[in-house]
Amino acid sequence: MLYNFPQHRSRRVRQSPWVRSLVQETDLTVRNLILPVFIVEGEGLKIPVDTMPGVYRYSIDQLLVHLDLVNGLGIPAVALFPKIETWLKNKEGGVALDPDGLVPRAVREIKKRFPELGVICDVALDPYTDHGQDGIPDDNGYLRNDATISQLVQMSQVLAQAGADVLAPSDMMDGRIGVIRNMLESQRMVNTMITSYAAKYASAFYSPFRDAVGSGSALGSSDKKQYQMSPLNGDEALREVAMDIKEGADMVMVKPGIPYLDIVRRVKDEFKYPTYVYHVSGEYAQLQAAAQAGYLDYDRVSMEIMQCFRRAGADGILTYCAMDIARRLSA
């Protein structure tokens, strides 16, 4: 009996590991991974972040011990985020401008010990302000865009002079990329790169991160919708990315990750530009909670998530899973 079988059977190229490997469209390697790291003042400290299992805040001396492992896994870069003591915070976030502050000292020590490891520094005021917002508010609580940029430029200069390889403005103030780039050029720090949080959404997935840097309690019931993007908007992300590229960003970022894979794909297709994605704290916490409850296989699901980021077009992935993924890739 003859059957009208299809000429093309898609399963033919799925039948064996060797042919599946040959037709694989996307690769994930350790060079795609960036590890976010939290730091605190003190010595000998490795403090768990309660809402992020497996994640810690490190004093600088313990950070260097940790980074020895990170560097050994071949992870190319880390992103630093500080938890600042409450008594140092104020309305303007002035301690962010201290050249002997926590982050500049950490940068200097990292570059001294691991010169080959890329160091990315967050440029935003929320860890440093007593209100938990990313900038300087007026009397009505509206963030003053240009006054905030003035602080961010000075903060950027301090971090670049300390040896940061990449500045990563995450504040979403209008025009800050161009002003920071002009400062770097005028100060002859022309090789300092800028990774712009170009499409950063006002997401509910950030809560564990805010616990980790200590801005959550200060923020309270307030939100950041006056400057971060609405999750309902996609075209707006392309406009934001276009402006930041024009102003001199070397890479652009979409944040959060999994719920915004469509934005990652659109950005990559539209601009063909180095595109990063941040697998944020809430996404990580969800995965850990489900794995600990036995609902998901952490290793398999975390790997699948990273592969999907790459398939969507991400060149770099900031993820708290970076060390676990690196170990699996080298196994």
272: left (phi over 0), alpha (psi -120 to 50) or beta: left
Rounded CA-CA distance 36/169 in Å is: 15
Query: Do the beta carbons of residue 163 and residue 111 sit within 8 Å?
Result: yes
Query: Do the beta carbons of residue 84 and residue 122 sit within 8 Å?
Result: no
Summarize pLDDT for 263-306 with one digit per residue, the tens.
Answer: 999 999 999 999 999 999 999 999 999 999 999 999 999 999 99
Summarize pLDDT for 9-60 with one digit per residue, the tens.
Answer: 888 899 999 999 999 999 999 999 999 999 999 999 999 999 999 999 999 9
Q: Is the full-model pTM beyond 0.85?
A: yes
* Residues designated catalytic: 200, 255
CATH class of segment(s) 28-330: alpha beta
Rounded CA-CA distance 317/253 in Å is: 9
Predicted confidence at residue 271, as pLDDT, reads 98
Q: Where are the domains of the chain?
A: 28-330
